[in-house]
Chain A
């Protein structure tokens, strides 16, 4: 009788353990999610393969892009976010192809594909070890996604367990400029954001 009771108890225990394991099992996306390094504005944030710092985030209703003597105006039903900073590869040449704006409510917005690649934006650039390079990221987002947003940068969205840098911005969403102009330079920094501040 005791032996039967012991077997039933052992069986119940095993079922309870399996049930617990099944319900606390992390999702595959959690297991392979990027390794995040976080920081704030005007600070160099280090991941294992690259480092990133962001100096300025500006918000505007209209974006003008001047390149090769031509100017084009981009309007939006939301606003334009123009983010400037510096990135550096640490050990090998790499590209940073994934940039996202993570709103305070958790919605992700990818880099805009409306602005032509003639302006050197982050996804098209190559970063060499030991040579920090200016980065320019542009997002088109709804006005209510601006305040408390975070910039998320990674080499690619496809590599599991790869580096990801998250930089919390300090934009309030109230300081929206009527328009910004991005001018491509022939010498010095690749672009200038006007009006200068």
Chain B
């Protein structure tokens, strides 16, 4: 073991620069290791609303979108059915149809996914719903460029829920999503 004064001095001289390098290297290694997870988390959780108005077309995800109906149907007991109709005119409907689409209804603290068309209230009060498609592939399958693809979503929510917002998100356009507020009576 060589413990000559020259070696000891050289080791002491390198101590603080090494500690300083560690302060930089450690967070950098952590960031490099977790960057993929941070990016995934951001893609899933960070959303940017693009506000739209009922009946007014707005450009989103390479198509012109219009929410044509956003209304409550009479429900059963404490629940009510919310119906949303919307259409999209795309230059390339086939490409748009290949992108997963997510429709949600929220009231600030809670979020509802669309029900399927099995709801008896919907079948009774809006039988033509069965002729419409949910947002996504099937709605665009038979469409020509520029032709409107008409879609519908229904939600089963508590009758007391208020300040509702409809959101339509296409995965290719995230973090942006279309946001339409329930019209006030």
Contacts and interface: CB of A to CB of B under 8 A. Distances in A.
B79 interface: yes
Q: Is chain B's interface secondary structure helix, strand, loop, or mixed overall?
A: strand
Contacts, number: 34
Contacts of A93: 111-113
Nearest to B116: A126
A90 B112 CA distance: 10
Nearest to B75: A131
A92 B113 contact: yes
B110 A91 contact: yes
Contacts of B157: 128-131
A128 B111 contact: no
Nearest to B79: A131
B71 to A, nearest CB: 18
Nearest to A93: B113
B115 interface: yes
Interface residues of A, number: 9
A130 B111 contact: no
A93 B107 CA distance: 13
Given A91-B109, A91-B110, A130 B115 contact: no
Contacts of A129: 110-112, 157-158
Interface in A10-48: none
A159 to B, nearest CB: 14
B4 to A, nearest CB: 17
A94 to B, nearest CB: 9
Interface string B84-119: 000000000000000000000000011111010000
Specify which of A90, A92, A128, A130 lies most central, judged by the most chain B CB atoms within 10 Å of its CB: A130
Interface in B48-85: 78-79
Interface string B125-163: 000000000000000000000000000000111101100
Interface in A127-170: 128-131
Interface in A109-133: 126, 128-131
Interface of B: 78-79, 109-113, 115, 155-158, 160-161
Interface of A: 90-93, 126, 128-131
